[in-house]
């Protein structure tokens, strides 16, 4: 009898120790932890929330607003809500995978470091899929194809410009750390390139106040600006033979995730790949139509 009791105790201890090693059954069989969502794993490995970073100040890609009108999503740690094209794309990705969406508002230069460190799972913020960025993050997409254009003011001597040659010698700026500022403005002969601006709204303010003669951006940003500023004029040199020279990687807009996070990358691409240029443009047109006038 004592031998039987002893054997029972030994077996009980062995089972208890094994349960401790296995996490008492609290982890999925594939070894992902209860914190799988912070590691960026897809739904089937435990994700419930997708944390997406954006500026929330880059209409029509993304902006902040005071209410949840037009399907806006709460901004983490804020009383504000986020909306725009990037939010619409993020919602499609989350709906397809059964995830909740959390929007994190960050400055432009903080976006890639945030996804690298795991502070957020993805950046959906109008980022070009450049080779330099691809060294730091993995890109899903594209989720938009954006052409390069310029904006000037009505009544300026650039209002009827037909190509970038007509911009020569004029003052200009754009947003810092973008292909608009780093790659496009230097292509204008003798351009008076002023200091770059930290955000798209500040870039547009420089044009509105007359600090510069023109700004360079992509078509969606220009479309949003035309809605907000009635005295702006779009300069689109496509097909003129006198346009900016850009590569596909510079105008293909992608979603960045942490290097090596293939599960999340594949889950996002599975949503984007069936969509085409027309789908993206239609969704962007919707974003422009609901963009607040003052943004």
Q: Please indicate, yes or no, if residue 51 is contained in any of the structural domains.
A: yes
Residues 278 and 137 placed together within one structural domain of the fold: yes
Other beta carbons within 10 Å of 83:
28
Co-location of 120 and 178 in the same domain: no
Q: Are residues 115 and 185 in the same domain?
A: no
- The answer to whether residues 203 and 229 belong to one domain is yes
**Each residue's pLDDT tens digit, 121-133:** 999 999 999 999 9
Shared domain check, 231 and 160: yes
**Per the domain annotation, does 13 fall within a domain?**
no
Burial degree of 132 (CB within 10 A; 0-12, 13-18, 19+): exposed
Domain assignment present for residue 212? The answer is yes
Looking at 193, 212, 237, the residue that finishes a domain is 237
Helix (H, G, I), strand (E, B) or coil at 77: coil
Q: How many domains does the chain have?
A: 2
Strands (E), 95-250: 100-105, 122-128, 138-145, 148-153, 171-173, 192-193, 214-218, 232-235
Predicted confidence (pLDDT) per residue in 105-121, tens digit? 999 999 999 999 999 99
CA 264 to chain centre: 15
Cα Rg of the chain (Å, integer): 24
Token pair for residue 49?
Answer: 């929330």
Tell me which residues of the chain have a pLDDT lower than 50: 1-45, 295
15 occurs within a structural domain = no
**pLDDT of the residue at 294:** 57
Kindly state whether residues 50 and 181 are assigned to the same domain: no
Decide: residue 126, CB within 10 A, 0-12 exposed, 13-18 middle, 19+ buried.
Answer: buried
Which residue, 216, 237, 258, sits at the end of a domain?
237
pTM above threshold 0.85:
no
- Domain identity same for 158 and 41: no
> Is 276 found in the same domain as 261?
yes
**Displacement of CA 111 from its chain's centroid (Å):** 8
The pLDDT value recorded for residue 295 is: 46
Q: Is 27 a member of any domain?
A: no
Q: What is the pLDDT of residue 293?
A: 72
pLDDT of residue 270: 98
**One domain, residues 232 and 174:** yes
Beta strand pairing status for 192-193 and 252-257? unpaired
Looking up tokens 């002969």 gives: 189
Q: Domain for residue 99, yes or no?
A: yes
In a domain, 22, yes or no: no
Taking CA atoms, 129 is separated from 19, 133, 179, 257, 278, in Å, by: 46, 7, 10, 12, 20
> Residue 85 belongs to a domain with what CATH number?
3.40.190.10
Do 157 and 42 lie in one domain? The reply is no
Tell me which H or E stretch contains 264.
helix 262-272
Mean pLDDT across the chain, nearest whole number? 87
**Helical (H) or strand (E) element with 49:** strand 49-54
What integer pLDDT is reported at residue 209 of this predicted model? 98
pLDDT at 1: 40
Range of the domain at 215: 148-237
For residues 126 and 220, the answer to whether their CB atoms sit within 8 Å is yes
A 10 A CB-CB count for 145 gives 16
- Are 85 and 128 found together in one domain? yes
| Paired tokens of 71 | 């399907």
Cβ pair 273, 280 in contact under 8 A: no
Does 177 lie in the same domain as 159?
yes
Quote the CA–CA distance of 295 and 292 in Å, as a whole number: 5
Written as one string, the DSSP assignment of 98-137 is: T-EEEEEE--GGGHHHHHHHTSSSEEEEEEE--HHHHTTS
Q: Is residue 186 in some structural domain?
A: yes
């Amino acid at each position: 009898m004592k031998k039987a009791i002893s054997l029972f105790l030994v077996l009980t201890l062995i089972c208890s120790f094994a349960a401790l090693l296995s996490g008492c059954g609290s982890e999925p069989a594939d070894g992902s932890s209860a914190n799988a969502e912070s590691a960026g794993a897809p739904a089937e490995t435990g994700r419930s929330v997708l944390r997406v970073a954006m500026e929330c100040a880059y209409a029509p890609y993304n902006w902040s607003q005071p209410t949840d009108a037009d399907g806006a999503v709460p901004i983490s740690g804020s009383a504000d809500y986020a909306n725009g094209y990037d939010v619409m794309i993020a919602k499609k990705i989350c709906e397809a995978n059964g995830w909740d969406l959390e929007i994190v508002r960050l400055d432009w230069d903080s976006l890639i470091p945030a996804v690298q460190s795991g502070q957020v799972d993805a950046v959906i913020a109008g980022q070009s899929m450049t080779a330099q960025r691809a060294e730091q993050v993995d890109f899903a997409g594209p989720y938009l194809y954006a052409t390069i254009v310029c904006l000037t003011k009505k009544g300026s001597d650039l209002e009827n410009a037909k190509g970038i040659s007509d911009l020569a010698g004029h003052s200009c700026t754009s947003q810092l750390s973008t292909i608009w500022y780093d790659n496009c403005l230097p292509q204008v002969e003798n351009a008076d390139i002023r200091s770059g601006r930290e955000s798209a709204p500040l870039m547009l303010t420089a044009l509105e106040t007359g600090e510069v003669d023109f700004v360079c951006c992509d078509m969606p940003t220009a479309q949003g600006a035309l809605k907000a500023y009635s005295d702006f004029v779009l300069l689109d040199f496509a097909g003129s033979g006198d346009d900016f020279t850009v590569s596909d990687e510079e105008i293909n807009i992608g979603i960045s995730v942490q290097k090596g996070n293939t599960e999340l990358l594949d889950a996002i691409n599975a949503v984007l790949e069936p969509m085409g240029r027309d789908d993206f443009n239609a969704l962007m047109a919707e974003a422009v139509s609901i963009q607040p006038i003052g943004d």
